[in-house]
Structure 1
Amino acid sequence: MRLIPPRRSYLFLHLLAFCYYAQVTNQSPPNFTQHVSEQSKVTDRVSRRLIRIYQLYSRTSGKHVQVLPNKKINAMADDGDVHAKLIVETDTFGSRVRIKGAETGFYICMNKRGKLIGKKNGQGRDCIFTEIVLENNYTALRNARYESWYMAFTRRGRPRKGSRTRQHQREVHFMKRLPKGTQPATRVTTVLSTSSTTRSVKGLNAQDTRLNAEEADKKETGRG
């Protein structure tokens, strides 16, 4: 049996390693953007749902979107109106949401004619909207079932059919606003309180140290 010379064995192993490295390098890297896009279209029933409360200010009507007891949707509400308070529930870990009136409990949905309607059960894809933040800082809401249709209102606050909407139109632009009288949560007070408490504790510790030192001096003087 013939033995392979050590030099040839080394070259052969080196060639194998080079081929393996080339094969691994040629594999395309994972497309994370595509993964996020695909997963954002799937309802997430495992993660904890995020719930927000805000109003939707319509750029065209100058009023707020409201959900009325008769299941009608319009953008005619004043700031702080009870029917303008909306509860927004996340549907995925992405930007898909369900929106319902806090007062009536009806979800904002879109039917096959592109009309906005209120529904008690908002589990269907026609009641899911994707929040799209635009370059002008306004937000557009695109329906999940009819992906080219948006929530939109005319200057008079009347709903506009989804089939007549485009992302660049003013009618589909909204601004999120807190309900009138609601203050945004801040951590400044907590930080200040914590800092004050820390200073108080440090002051007490310093006072105790000083008293202990004075007692020790008295004992030393008594012994003398």
Structure 2
Amino acid sequence: MRPVPYGLSYLFLHIFTFCYYAQVTNQSPPNFTQHVSEQSKVTDRVSRRLVRIYQLYSRTSGKHVQILPNKKINAMAEDGDVHAKLIVETDTFGSRVRIRGAETGFYICMNKRGKLIGKKNGQGRDCIFTEIVLENNYTALKNARYEGWYMAFTRRGRPRKGSRTRQHQREVHFMKRLPKGQQPPTQATIGLLTSFTTPSIKGLSGQDAHLNTEEQKPMNC
């Protein structure tokens, strides 16, 4: 068997090196958008949980969403009503949240018929909503379990079934507002709030950071 000429071996080596380099460089870069989408569908147990306090002003009723002691939910509360104060907890890497009443401790959830109900345990996906900031600066809240179903209220403040809702409808549009009389925290106060403590039913403790600092206007999350 005759040995392969040196020049031919050198040529084969160059071809192999070129093919390998081309294969490596042609690999597609990581799809960050896809990664964010996947992470936004599972509960984030790694990052610090972001907690905010605000009211949800209904575009149709002109009142605020409230969770009553009998677990009923409507949009008939006046600005500053004790049952209109909501504690909003992030659930995922993205914009999915759990919403509970600061006074009653009940979470806003949606059952299989699309009806809004209050629950003491809000760990299910039926109690998770995706915050969607719309072009008109209002916020829509889409249920995580029932795709395409939104939190919505009629002009009289009564809950509207999720199966009858669409994102463009006024009934699903809300504005986030700080509770009446609550002042945005100062920068110095925020600097002192470095640790997270699970909020009590009556409100948040002094250790809860990350309170939204915009007042009486839409808050983009």
Q: What TM-score do you get using the length of structure 2 for normalisation?
A: 0.81
What SS does the corresponding residue of 1:28 show, helix, strand or coil?
A: coil
* Secondary structure of the corresponding residue to residue 55 of structure 1: strand
Alignment coverage as a number of residue pairs: 191
| Superposed displacement of residue 154, structure 1 | 0.6
Distance across 2 between alignment mates of 1:175 and 1:148: 20
* 1:189–1:70 Cα change, 3 Å: closer
Point out which structure has higher relative CO (alpha carbons under 8 A, 6+ apart).
Answer: 2
Partner Cα separation in structure 2 for residue 77 and residue 29 of structure 1: 50
Q: CA deviation at 1:28?
A: 2.6
Higher helix proportion (structure 1 or 2):
1
Distance 1:141 1:86 in 2: 14
Contact conserved, 2:36 with 2:93, CA < 8 A, in 1? no
CA distance in 2, matches of 1:134, 1:67: 24
Alignment of 1:199-210 (within 5 A): none
The structure whose Rg is larger is 1
Task: Indicate the residue corresponding to 1:215 in structure 2.
Answer: none
Q: TM-score, normalization: structure 1?
A: 0.80
Report the 3-state secondary structure (helix = DSSP H, G, I; strand = E; otherwise coil) of the residue aligned with 2:54: strand
Q: Is residue 119 from structure 1 mapped to residue 119 from structure 2 by the alignment?
A: yes
In structure 2, the residue matched to 1:85 is: 85
CA distance, structure 2, for counterparts of residue 21 and residue 186 of structure 1: 55
Residue 158 of structure 1: how far off its partner (Å): 0.6
Counterpart of 1:75, as a letter, is A
Output the CA distance in 2 between the equivalents of 1:186 and 1:4.
79
Question: Hey, what's the Cα distance between the residues in 1 that align with 2:186 and 2:135?
Answer: 27
Residues of 2 paired with 1:18 and 1:41: CA distance?
Answer: 41
Aligned to 2:216: none
Unaligned runs of 5+ in 2: 191-221
Which secondary structure does the structure 1 equivalent of 2:83 belong to? helix
CA distance in 2, matches of 1:154, 1:109: 18
